[in-house]
Amino acid sequence: MTKTILIINGPNLDMLGTRQPEVYGHDTLADVEALCQRIAKEEGVEIDFRQSDSESEIMGWIKQSRGKTAGLLINPAGFTSTSIAILDSLLIYDAPIIEVHISPLFRRDEFRHLSYVSKAATAKIEGFGIRGYDFAIRKLAELANAR
């Protein structure tokens, strides 16, 4: 297994920077990826950075990465409170999982408070903007180095 962290971004995160900047800020997904690349280099790990609006594509990525990645950072976005199918894929993943959300879900619409992903996650980081990705990569790198 390589020390690669799979980073999955869910639906509409490709619209960061223009979609509801009062909620998500002005950083773009390219800014998030640049941050992740920088932190990964500092921590001595590789990243595989992806985004999809497709639930089935996300499920495929999770299943294909079993035994091949040291950890998974997932921002499930709109699938957070709706996808039992992604939860089922995460439950068969064999390395640490950190769920990340840019905005604090507990301050959003009540239907967003439920996270199926949390039921499989090792940890959850929310409400720190894109810095949550920084924290998650550092922790996943620490866990990978301890394995």
CB atoms within 10 A of CB 35: 16
Q: Which amino acid is at 126?
A: E
Q: Residue 25 contacts by C-beta under 8 Å, 6 or more apart in sequence?
A: 16, 17, 102, 129, 130
Residue 26 catalytic? Answer: no
Task: Catalytic residue, from 93, 101, 116, 133: name it.
Answer: 101
Please classify residue 112 by burial: count the beta carbons closer than 10 Å to its beta carbon, then call 0-12 exposed, 13-18 middle and 19+ buried. Answer: middle
* Cα-based angle 13, 15, 19 (whole degrees, multiple of 5): 105
Catalytic residue among 24, 93, 116, 133, which? 24
Show which residues are catalytic.
24, 101
